Amino acid sequence: MVWVNAIVQGMLLGGLYALFAAGLSLMFGVMRFVNLAHGDFIVTAAYLMLALVGMLNVHWAFAILLVPAVLGAAGYFNQRILLNRVLGGDLLPPVLVTFGLSIIIQNALLEVFSADSQRLNAGWLDTASFQLGGGIAIGALPLMMFLAAVAVIGGLQFIFYKTALGRMLRATSDDPAMVPLMGGNNGHVFAIATLLASVVVGIAGIFLAVKTNFDPAAGPARLLFAFEAVIIGGLGSLWGTLIGGVILGVAQTLGAQIDAGYQILAGHLVFLAILVARPRGLLPKM
Amino acid sequence: MTTLLETRDLKAFYGDFQALFGIDVTVADGETVALIGANGAGKSTFLRAITGMLPAAGQQISFGGQTVAGWAADRIHKAGIAMVPEGRRLFPSLTVEENLLIGASGGRKGPWDLAAVYALFPDLVAKKTNPGTALSGGQQQMVAIGRALMSNPRLLLCDEISLGLAPKVIKDIYRAVPQIREGGTAILVVEQDVGQALAVADRVYCFMEGRVTLTGTPAELTRAQIAQAYFGAKTEEAA
Ligand SMILES: Nc1ncnc2c1ncn2[C@@H]1O[C@H](COP(=O)(O)OP(=O)(O)OP(=O)(O)O)[C@@H](O)[C@H]1O
Ligand SMILES: [Mg+2]
C-alpha cells in the first residue's frame, strides 16, 4: 500500500512539474527558444505571491489573478523588447541572454527578500485532505495542483488547436518566414507565445509558494525539473509535457520511498533511461 | 486603367550580390501580367522585393498610390498584396482548411471566403481536414492559391505555380485565372512555361540576369524576340 500511495502522491506532484514545464514547452514549440531563466521567473512569481498575500495582505482571490496577469504582461514586453532581438539567428545568443537574466533575477530577489527560505502559509488548505481508505490520503493542495495542470494543458491545447491565435502560433512554429505574407507579425506572435507561457509561469509560482520552501536560488532546480518533464514527454507536445511531469513525479516519490535521499536521483535516472530509450521523448511533435 | 503597382529602377541585393539592376514594371488594376525568364533571372527576387520580404527601403515601389517600399511585409500584405510563393510553402501542421483560414488573417473584406475558394477548387472540399502537405502537388498548389485569395488581395503574385505538375493539372489550375480576374484581382505570374504565360497574360515582361530585356503584349511579341530576350545573344549565334 505504501507503494500505491507513493505512486498517487507522485502523480499529483507531477502536476506541479507539468506546470513548471508547460511554459518552457510552449516557448520551445513556437520559437525553438530555450529560456534558461524560466525557473527564476517561476520563483519570482512565487515571491510576488508571497509579497502580495503574506506581506501586503492582499486578498488571495485577487492575488491569484494578479500574479499570472503581471507575469503575462512582463513576459510580453520582455519578449518584444529584449528576447526578439536575439532570436532567429544563432542558438547561442538566446542562451547567453537568458542565462544573464537568470543571474540578474536571482541577485535582485536576494537583495529584496534575503537568502532565507520562505513559504506562503495557506492556512487550513495546507493540511486538508481526503481519505481514500487503505492508508491513502489525497491532499487538497496537491490535488488542486494536479487539476490546475490538467486545466492549463487542456486550455493551451484548446487555444492551439481551436482558435485563430493557435493557428497563427502553429504556423509560426512551422515556417516563421511565411507568416508576414499571411498578415501576421512575427515579433507580436512570439510575444503572445511568451505571454501565454508566462501566465502559466505565474500559476506555477503560486503553487510553488504554498507547496514548498523556496529561496532566491531555487530557480535552476525548477528549470531542471521542467526540462526533464519536457524532454520525457517529447519536445513541443503539451500532453506529452503533462505525462513527462507525472513520470518525473512518480519516479521521485518512488525513489523517496526507497530512501529519502534517492528522491531527486531517481527522477534523474528515469529521465536518463527515457532519453536513452527514446531520445525524442514519449510523444514527439517534431 | 489606373496603375496599381509600379516599380522604378528597383534594385535588390543578397549581401554583396546584386540580383536586380533597376527594374521598371507596372501592373494596372485588374490586369494579368506575366514575368518570364530563365533560372536565376531574378523573377522570384522581384516578387520578394515587392512583398517586403527583401529590404527595399528608399526605393520606388508604389502600390495603390502609396509608396510601400520599406514597409514591413505584414503591412504590405494588409494593403492588398498576396503571394503564392515558390514551392507553395504550406504550413505542415495545419489542415487544408486551416491553411486557407490563415490566409485571411489580415482581415480584408471582399469576394473570397472559404465557400468561394471551395467553389473555385472543388477537389479541396473532400480534403479539408487533411494536413495540407499530405495532398498531391496540384492540390497543394490549389491550397496555396486559395490561401492567398482568402486575403482578398488587389494584387496576387504567383511564383511558378505550374512547376513540377502534370499538364492536365496545370490546365486545372490555370482554369481558375479567369475567375480570379472576375473578382477584380490583378495578377502577376512568374512562369517558365512561355506558352502558358502568353496564353494567360495581357502583358509580358522578360527578365534576364536581373534586367528587363523585353516587354509587350502577347500579340506584339515574336518567338524570335522572346528567344533573344530569354537567352541573350549566345543562343542567337547558335541559331
Ligand atoms: N537567398 C539568396 N541568397 C543569395 N543569392 C540568391 C538568393 N536567392 C536568389 N539568389 C540569387 O539571385 C539571383 C536571382 O534569383 P531568383 O531566385 O530571383 O531567380 P528566378 O528568376 O526566380 O529563378 P528560378 O526560375 O530558378 O526560380 C540568382 O543568381 C540566385 O542565385
Ligand atoms: Mg524563382
- How far away, in angstroms, is A132 Cα from ligand 2 center? 67
Q: Which of B77, B91, B93 sits opposite A183 (nearest CB)?
A: B77
Mean pLDDT of chain B: 90
pLDDT of residue B238 exceeding 70, the answer is no
Task: Cell numbers for B124, please give them.
Answer: 479541396
CA distance B147 to chain A (A): 8
Any A CB within 8 A of B190 CB: no
pLDDT above 70 coverage of chain A, percent: 100
* Cβ contact A180–B74 (<8 Å): yes
Phi, psi dihedral angles at A139 (to 5 degrees): -70, 145
Q: At what angle do helices B167-174 and B137-149 cross, to 10 degrees?
A: 20
- What CATH number has the domain spanning B3-87+153-231? 3.40.50.300
When mean pLDDT is compared across A128-137, A153-162, B1-10, the lowest value belongs to: A128-137
Selected for mutation to probe chain B from A181, A186, A188, A189 (highest B CB count within 10 Å) is A181
**pLDDT at position A121:** 85
Question: Which atom of ligand 1 is nearest to B37's Cα?
Answer: 21
pLDDT greater than 50 at residue B48 = yes
Beta-carbon contacts of B143 under 8 Å, excluding residues fewer than 6 positions away, are B88, B90, B96, B99, B100, B124, B132, B135
- Neighbouring CB atoms inside 10 A of B20's CB total 26
> pLDDT at position A113, please?
94
- Please state, in angstroms and rounded to a whole number, the distance separating the CA atoms of residues A170 and A181: 15
CB of B50 within 8 Å of any CB in chain A?
no
pLDDT of res. B233: 62
Query: So where are chain A's domains?
Result: 2-277
The answer for B8, left when phi > 0, alpha when psi is -120 to 50, beta otherwise, is: beta
| Pocket mutation for ligand 1, best pick of B10, B11, B13, B14 (most atoms within 8 Å of C-beta) | B14
* Interface touch A180/B72, C-beta < 8 Å: yes
Mean pLDDT across A132-144: 87
Q: What is the per-residue pLDDT for B237? A: 46
Q: Where are the alpha helices (DSSP H) in chain A?
A: 2-31, 38-49, 60-81, 92-113, 140-162, 164-174, 186-211, 219-233, 238-258, 263-277
pLDDT of residue B57: 78
Distance, first Cα to last Cα, chain A: 39
pLDDT score of A156: 96
* Alpha carbon nearest to ligand 1 atom 24, residue: B39
Mean of pLDDT over chain A: 93
* Contact call for residues A14 and A262 (beta carbons, < 8 A): no
For residues B102-131, average pLDDT:
93
The DSSP result for B105-167, as a single string, is GG---SS-SHHHHHHH-GGGGGGTTSBGGGS-HHHHHHHHHHHHHTT--SEEEEE-TTTT--H
Cell numbers found for residue A50: 508571497
Confidence at A54, pLDDT banded by 50, 70, 90:
confident
Q: Is the pLDDT of residue A174 over 70?
A: yes
What is the per-residue pLDDT across B145-155, written as a single tens digit (0 to 9) for each? Answer: 999 999 999 99
Q: Averaged over A44-69, what is the pLDDT?
A: 94
Taking CA atoms, B119 is separated from A149, B97, B116, in Å, by 44, 14, 5
Give chain A's contact residues with B (Cβ, < 8 Å).
164, 167-168, 170-171, 173-175, 177-185
Question: Which residues of chain B have a CB within 8 Å of the CB of A176?
Answer: none
Angstrom CA distances, B132 to A171, B165, B230, stand at 12, 17, 35
Q: What pLDDT band is residue B239 in, cutting at 50, 70 and 90?
A: very low
pTM to 2 decimal places? 0.91
Name which of B210, B186, B205, B109 is nearest B150 in CA terms. Answer: B109
DSSP state letter for A215: -
3 state DSSP class of A272: helix
- Write the CATH number of the domain with boundaries A2-277: 1.10.3470
Span B120-127, mean pLDDT?
94
| B72, B91, B107: residue with CB nearest A174 | B91
Name every chain B residue with its beta carbon within 8 A of the beta carbon of A237.
Answer: none
> Can you give the residue ranges of every domain in chain B?
3-87+153-231
Is the Cβ of B116 closer than 8 Å to some Cβ of chain A? no
Our CA-based measurement puts residue A158 at a distance from the nearest CA of chain B, in whole angstroms, of: 15
